[in-house]
Amino acid sequence: MKKIDILKKLRSSRLRPTKQRVEIAKFLFEREKTFHFTVESLNKLLIKKLASKIALATIYNTVHAFKTAGHLSEVEVRGNKTYFDTNVSNHHHFYDSENAELIDIDANDIVIQKIPKAPNGKKIKNVEVFINLKN
Amino acid sequence: MKKIDILKKLRSSRLRPTKQRVEIAKFLFEREKTFHFTVESLNKLLIKKLASKIALATIYNTVHAFKTAGHLSEVEVRGNKTYFDTNVSNHHHFYDSENAELIDIDANDIVIQKIPKAPNGKKIKNVEVFINLKN
DNA sequence: TTTTCACTTTAGAATAATTATAAACTAGAA
DNA sequence: TTCTAGTTTATAATTATTCTAAAGTGAAAA
């Protein structure tokens, strides 16, 4: 993803392309593969990568702004920290608890044959499959 | 579940049947239906139910001891709090985010036709399906 | 350009969930 | 009954996250 596209992405979601947002966006979206992270891990990686450091609060703000804008998705993982994913399409996850690592599974690689109907006036919003791994 | 069975359950997992553990176990396991809770909600319910109150740290200790012993399972739910479930068999969940409520789905009510194979030397430990609900 | 102001960033305080500590208590073996 | 390892408890500490309020900045308007 080019810098110009980063700027477009930010502007299209009514987020001013500040220095910090552009740097974080470049770090997150200029990748081939999807990227999974927690705010803590992202912060550490940004400290390594960037000359000037970005305030932790800004990283929280920015990640949430990106999530709200639909540029990041939040992944439910048992435990204390919140995981985010640059893959915002409908997909699933392997979770390797030994390395606290998420691995994407394409939506087409899982086919569900039978599913219960939603209870009392509710509808199904989405179905997430989470496959825990062991050695 | 009778009191005698509560005592058995505790002893069989090498947990001394202290007053607090017995009370918490009775509250959790003397039920027809499965019960979902957070430590916070359990604490509130126990305060209502019991004359003497149990220290919050003890509730954390006990819930974790029960989980380690296999009497409770932990459910992955996005968000800050940890949910527990008295249903320890293999099963799935609906999640109604509006009421922050979990609803059990029997393992037999979901059939997965196609599943990817585990990556690099890993094996599949278990598969959890999580169905988010909306109105 | 310069001005202006709503939007942002920031450091640090505040909050919330959970875990650690260490002293007092207790179940159950001897 | 005595003794001891296991347990409970109040409280402090830790961890993740959010809040606050002051200083900074993009970009529209003058």
Q: What is the pLDDT of residues B97-111, one digit of tens each?
A: 888 889 999 999 999
- Same structural domain, B69 and B15: yes
Point out the domain boundary residue: B75, B109, B124. Answer: B75
Split into its structural domains, chain B has a count of 2
Say if CB B115 and CB B127 are below 8 A apart: yes
As a whole number, the mean pLDDT across chain A is 93
What span, in angstroms and rounded, lies between the C-alpha atoms of A134 and A9? 38
Residue B80 forms part of a structural domain: no
Say if CB A102 and CB A77 are below 8 A apart: yes
Q: Percent of chain A at pLDDT above 90?
A: 84
What is the rounded average pLDDT of the residues B63-79?
93
The beta-carbon neighbor of A133 closest among B77, B94, B118 is B118
Q: What is the DSSP letter of B3?
A: H
pLDDT of residue B53 exceeding 80, the answer is yes
Full residue range of the structural domain in which residue B44 is found: 3-75
What span, in angstroms and rounded, lies between the C-alpha atoms of A97 and B74? 14
- Same structural domain, B71 and B93: no
- Same structural domain, B71 and B8: yes
CATH value at residue A67: 1.10.10.10
Say yes or no: B55 contacts chain A, CB-CB below 8 A.
no
B15 touches strand D (CB under 7 A): yes
pLDDT of residue B25 exceeding 70, the answer is yes
Q: What's the confidence (pLDDT) of residue B2? A: 63
Residues of chain B found within 8 Å of residue A77, distances taken between Cβ atoms: 76
Say if CB B113 and CB B122 are below 8 A apart: no
Q: Percent of chain A at pLDDT above 70?
A: 97
Say yes or no: B107 contacts chain A, CB-CB below 8 A.
no
CB contact (8 A) between residue B131 and residue A118: yes
CB contact (8 A) between residue B129 and residue A131: no
A44 touches strand D (CB under 7 A): no
Point out the domain boundary residue: A75, A105, A123. Answer: A75
Question: Of B122, B126, B127, B134, which to mutate for an interface test with A (greatest number of A Cβ within 10 Å)?
Answer: B122
- Same structural domain, A13 and A52: yes
Task: Determine phi and psi for B79, rounding to 5 degrees.
Answer: 125, -175
Q: Percent of chain B at pLDDT above 90?
A: 84
As a whole number, the mean pLDDT across chain B is 93
What is the rounded average pLDDT of the residues A16-29?
97
Residues of chain B found within 8 Å of residue A112, distances taken between Cβ atoms: 110-113, 129
- Same structural domain, B32 and B94: no
Say yes or no: B77 contacts chain A, CB-CB below 8 A.
yes
- Same structural domain, A25 and A68: yes
Point out the domain boundary residue: A35, A52, A75. Answer: A75
Q: What's the confidence (pLDDT) of residue B97? A: 85
Q: What's the confidence (pLDDT) of residue B99? A: 84
- Same structural domain, A11 and A62: yes
With CA of A55 and C1' of each nucleotide, the nearest comes out as: C10
pLDDT of residue A93 exceeding 70, the answer is yes
